[in-house]
């Protein structure tokens, strides 16, 4: 069985992003870029399936500029077997990414595709679900536990009220939540080995996919600033302020 | 052309975020229909008919819709989509699950988690954990949208008298089945509906210590929330997580106890009206967004606060 995982190159989660003064976007100059944290969890889950003897091959896909090679290499160092870069300078939106992933699914015929539940730059939380729809596959989003059965996956999902468990037929798309696993760190020997693993490069056109976006960003502005607050010295003062100044209790 | 709002419901009632989504829809146009899909959801359908400003309620009552399985729900919505210019639902885990599927089946993009309506095709939405607000315009024939539950004033749950129509169609995709759920029952307001929230972080040290917060919450009629660190450490269940990837809240009062204030946590609570932080580290970033900061050991401060309420 093959497992396909998606890895997006995003601003590292520790970076406090700043909006550019011309409101055209956020400042990405000299900013640390990483694998989207939810995709690290996806890679980890796929690699564990391989280590458990349930998957033969883990393929990682990234869509974006040639710089995404870096994130593919990271995934290879974490245990993925080979990479696919779908190279484009276009700012591809979730529907376009889903179409690209669908084309790769058609090519590679994986039983399971694992994506993150959300990319922490656009905070869209759409791609996995869209991919499942395009292929007519079942989806198990926001997974915190995955168990493979005979041609099925039983997945515990994090939902607003708590947890729910569903079973999806394979092939299926799973999207990861934070508590699915704790990703490992790449060891130096594995980083070296990763350099020799194969990475194929395609353009969206090679895959017959049109990734022209239908949603245009007109501007990006900073959020409303909060007024600076005050420090209170005692609990008594705090309770008094909440009652008499803020009037919220 | 009308707007279709898919209601978040538990078969008996309509959940609060739906009132917010209807409010957002009414800013786009005045012809708003509500779809209530569920199993034995007649009561929820009747409740939807009373929502202020709603034109018509469509009720799809069938076992296949009982647990919001995305494949079935999305197929239903796509079947009903003709004639609607906008298809909207709330940014709940159910909405996030099925609506992108609807968009893909209609071959259009989705605009996630809008916080403002600029015009019928232009919306604001937070990106980068709320560190930036994007204004986006859609050229799609149908706009598929999720709405942030804290961003619009809800319409009244009562006062309307919409017509109710039954939808007969049934789709069972056959690719997924619902097995079971573990829903945490609490005698407190839901996080996303509470006007006061008291949240604990890693500083709480263990789950038992959350009783300190619960005692205060009882007195304030508050909900209890948590940071990711507190959930990951197993102190409390996942449904209590506030943040970029948990629940987005904006109560009148948010009290953060033993929470450092990572960007991802702030993303979920920084639109609260009044923020209080109790932390023993005066340099904790949470103090930068707090209206009232108290540098103190929570194990002294919280019981003392409890005593004063
Ligand atoms: C992709 C991604 C998504 C994430 N999503 C979320 C999310 O949705 N929500 C979220 O919360 N986090 C999220 N995080 C995690 C986030 O980055 C932080 O790690 C987390 O919020 C830290 O939780 P904390 O403040 O409880 O713990 P810490 O950062 O460890 O802070 C504990 C605080 O408690 C204080 N403290 C300790 N003891 C006491 C005491 N006795 N009295 C008073 N104060 C005390 C300390 O001074 C410290 O400030 C996410 C991270 C990633 C990578
Ligand atoms: N450019 C991309 N390249 C590879 N995977 C992506 C890309 N964009 C999104 N994804 C995948 O889709 C998930 C959800 O992204 P989103 O729908 O943008 O929030 C991510 O966690 C990735 O797994």
Q: How far is A174 from chain B (nearest CA, A)?
A: 11
Q: In the prediction, which pLDDT does B284 show?
A: 97
**Chain-chain contact of A129 with B228 (C-beta, under 8 angstroms):** no
Structure tokens at B283: 């340099």
Q: What is the pTM of this model?
A: 0.97
Select from A132, A157, A229 the Cβ nearest to the Cβ of B291.
Answer: A229
Q: In the prediction, which pLDDT does B143 show?
A: 98
Structure tokens at A95: 């529907």
* Residue with CA closest to ligand 2 atom 14: A118
For chain A, the C-alpha Rg in angstroms (whole number) is 21
Is residue A87 within 8 A of residue A66, CB to CB? The reply is yes
* DSSP category for residue B272: -
pLDDT, tens digit (0-9, with 9 covering 90-100), for B54-88: 999 999 999 999 999 999 999 999 999 999 999 99
Select from B176, B232, B263 the Cβ nearest to the Cβ of A138.
Answer: B176
Interface test with A, best of B81, B90, B93, B247 (most A CBs within 10 A): B93
Cβ neighbours for A213, distance < 8 A, ≥ 6 positions apart: A90, A91, A92, A93, A96, B109
pLDDT, tens digit (0-9, with 9 covering 90-100), for A185-227: 999 999 999 999 999 999 999 999 999 999 999 999 999 988 8
Select from B132, B140, B253 the Cβ nearest to the Cβ of A214.
Answer: B140
DSSP states of B139-206 = --SSEEEEE-TTSSPPPPSSS---EEEE-------SSEEEEEEEEPP-SS--GGG-SEEEEE-GGG-S
| Of residues B61, B9, B7, B55, the one with CA closest to residue B29 | B55
Cis bond leading into A171, ω under 30°?
Answer: yes
Q: In the prediction, which pLDDT does A228 show?
A: 82
pLDDT over 90 (residue B184): no
Q: In the prediction, which pLDDT does A152 show?
A: 98
Is residue B127 within 8 A of residue A220, CB to CB? The reply is yes
**Residue in chain B nearest A232 by alpha carbon:** B294
Q: In the prediction, which pLDDT does B54 show?
A: 97
pLDDT, tens digit (0-9, with 9 covering 90-100), for B225-277: 999 999 999 999 999 999 999 999 999 999 999 999 999 999 999 999 999 99
Mean pLDDT score across all residues of chain A: 97
**Chain-chain contact of B176 with A166 (C-beta, under 8 angstroms):** yes
Categorize the per-residue pLDDT at A147 as very low, low, confident or very high, splitting at 50, 70 and 90. very high
pLDDT over 90 (residue A166): yes
Categorize the per-residue pLDDT at B287 as very low, low, confident or very high, splitting at 50, 70 and 90. very high
Average pLDDT on A165-184 reads 98
Cα(A78)–Cα(B296) distance, integer angstroms: 42
**Chain-chain contact of A95 with B292 (C-beta, under 8 angstroms):** no
* Counts for chain A of helices (H) and strands (E), in that order: 6, 13
Establish whether residue B279 lines the binding site of ligand 1, counting it when its CB lies within 6 angstroms of any ligand atom. yes
Which letter, b or e, does each residue of B9-26 get, where b requires 16 or more Cβ atoms within 10 Å of its Cβ?
Answer: bebebbbbbbbbbbbbbb
Categorize the per-residue pLDDT at B170 as very low, low, confident or very high, splitting at 50, 70 and 90. confident
| Of residues B7, B12, B5, the one with CA closest to residue B37 | B7
Categorize the per-residue pLDDT at B282 as very low, low, confident or very high, splitting at 50, 70 and 90. very high
Size of interface A-B (CB pairs under 8 A): 258
Question: Which among B204, B226, B228, B288 is the best mutation to test ligand 1's pocket, defined by most ligand atoms within 8 Å of the CB?
Answer: B228
Dihedral in degrees, nearest 10, Cα atoms B100, B103, B107, B111: -90
Q: From ligand 1's centre to the CA of B306, what distance in Å?
A: 23
Categorize the per-residue pLDDT at B133 as very low, low, confident or very high, splitting at 50, 70 and 90. very high
Structure tokens at A224: 């409303």
Structure tokens at B52: 């202020």
Average pLDDT on B135-153 reads 97
ipTM: 0.97
Cα(B142)–Cα(B246) distance, integer angstroms: 28
Handedness of CA A212, A218, A220, A226 (dihedral sign): negative
Q: Furthest-apart CA pair in chain B: how many Å?
A: 60
pLDDT, tens digit (0-9, with 9 covering 90-100), for B92-126: 999 999 999 999 999 999 999 999 999 999 999 99
Quote the distance between the C-alpha of residue B160 and its chain's center: 23
Average pLDDT on B5-23 reads 97
Cα(B261)–Cα(B288) distance, integer angstroms: 9
Categorize the per-residue pLDDT at B168 as very low, low, confident or very high, splitting at 50, 70 and 90. confident
Categorize the per-residue pLDDT at B169 as very low, low, confident or very high, splitting at 50, 70 and 90. confident
Select from B74, B113, B131 the Cβ nearest to the Cβ of A133.
Answer: B74
pLDDT over 90 (residue B199): yes
Cα(B202)–Cα(A101) distance, integer angstroms: 38
Backbone angles phi, psi at A68, to 5 degrees: -65, -15
**Residue in chain A nearest B217 by alpha carbon:** A249
Establish whether residue B293 lines the binding site of ligand 1, counting it when its CB lies within 6 angstroms of any ligand atom. no
Cα(B199)–Cα(B201) distance, integer angstroms: 7
Mean pLDDT score across all residues of chain B: 97
3-class DSSP state of B289 = coil
Residue B159 burial (10 A CB sphere; 0-12, 13-18, 19+): exposed
3-class DSSP state of A30 = coil
């Amino acid at each position: 069985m093959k497992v396909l995982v998606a890895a997006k190159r995003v601003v590292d989660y520790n970076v406090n992003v700043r909006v550019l003064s011309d409101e055209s976007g956020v400042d990405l100059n000299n900013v640390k870029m990483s694998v989207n944290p939810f995709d690290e969890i996806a890679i980890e889950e796929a690699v564990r399936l391989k280590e458990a003897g349930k998957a033969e091959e883990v393929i990682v896909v990234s869509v974006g500029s040639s710089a995404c090679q870096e994130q593919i290499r990271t995934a290879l160092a974490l245990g993925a077997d080979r990479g696919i870069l779908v190279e484009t300078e276009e700012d591809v939106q979730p529907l376009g990414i889903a179409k690209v992933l669908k084309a790769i699914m058609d090519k590679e015929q994986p039983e399971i595709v694992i994506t993150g539940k959300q990319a922490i730059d656009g905070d869209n939380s759409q791609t996995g679900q869209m991919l499942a729809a395009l292929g007519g596959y079942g989806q198990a989003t926001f997974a915190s536990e995955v168990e493979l059965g005979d041609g099925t996956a039983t997945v515990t999902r994090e939902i607003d009220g708590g947890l729910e468990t569903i079973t999806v037929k394979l092939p299926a798309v799973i999207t990861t939540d934070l508590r699915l696993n704790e990703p490992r760190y790449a060891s130096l020997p594995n980083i070296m080995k990763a350099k020799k693993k194969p990475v194929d490069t395609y353009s969206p056109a090679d895959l017959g996919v049109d990734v022209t976006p239908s949603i245009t960003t007109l501007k990006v502005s900073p959020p409303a600033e909060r007024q600076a607050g005050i420090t209170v010295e005692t609990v008594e003062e705090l309770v008094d302020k909440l009652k008499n100044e803020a009037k919220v209790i | 052309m009308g707007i279709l709002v898919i209601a978040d419901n538990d078969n008996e009632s309509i959940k609060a975020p739906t009132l917010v989504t209807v409010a957002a829809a009414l800013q786009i146009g005045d012809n708003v229909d509500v779809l209530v899909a569920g199993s034995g959801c007649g009561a929820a359908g009747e409740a939807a008919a009373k929502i202020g400003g709603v034109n018509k309620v469509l009720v799809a009552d069938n076992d296949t819709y009982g647990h919001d399985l995305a494949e079935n729900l999305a197929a239903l919505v796509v079947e009903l989509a003709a004639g609607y210019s906008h298809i909207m639902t709330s940014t709940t885990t159910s909405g996030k699950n099925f609506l992108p599927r609807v968009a893909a089946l209609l071959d259009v993009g989705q605009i996630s988690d809008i916080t403002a309506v600029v015009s019928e095709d232009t919306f604001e939405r937070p990106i980068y954990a709320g560190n930036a607000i994007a204004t986006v315009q859609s050229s799609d024939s149908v706009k598929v949208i999720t709405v942030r539950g804290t961003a619009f004033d809800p319409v009244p749950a009562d006062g309307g008298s919409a017509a109710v129509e039954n939808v007969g169609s049934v789709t069972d995709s056959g690719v997924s089945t619902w097995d079971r759920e573990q829903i945490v029952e609490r005698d407190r307001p839901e996080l996303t509906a509470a006007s006061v929230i008291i949240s604990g972080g890693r500083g709480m040290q263990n789950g038992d210590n959350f009783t300190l917060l619960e005692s205060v919450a009882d007195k304030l009629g508050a909900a209890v929330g948590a940071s990711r660190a507190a959930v990951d450490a197993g102190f409390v269940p996942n449904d209590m997580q506030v943040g970029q990837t948990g629940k987005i809240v904006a109560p009148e009062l948010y009290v953060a106890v033993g929470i450092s204030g990572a960007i991802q946590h702030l993303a979920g609570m920084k639109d609260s009206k009044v923020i209080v932080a109790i932390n023993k580290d005066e340099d904790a970033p949470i103090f930068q967004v707090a209206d009232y900061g108290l540098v103190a050991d929570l194990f002294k401060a919280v019981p003392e606060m409890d005593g004063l309420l």
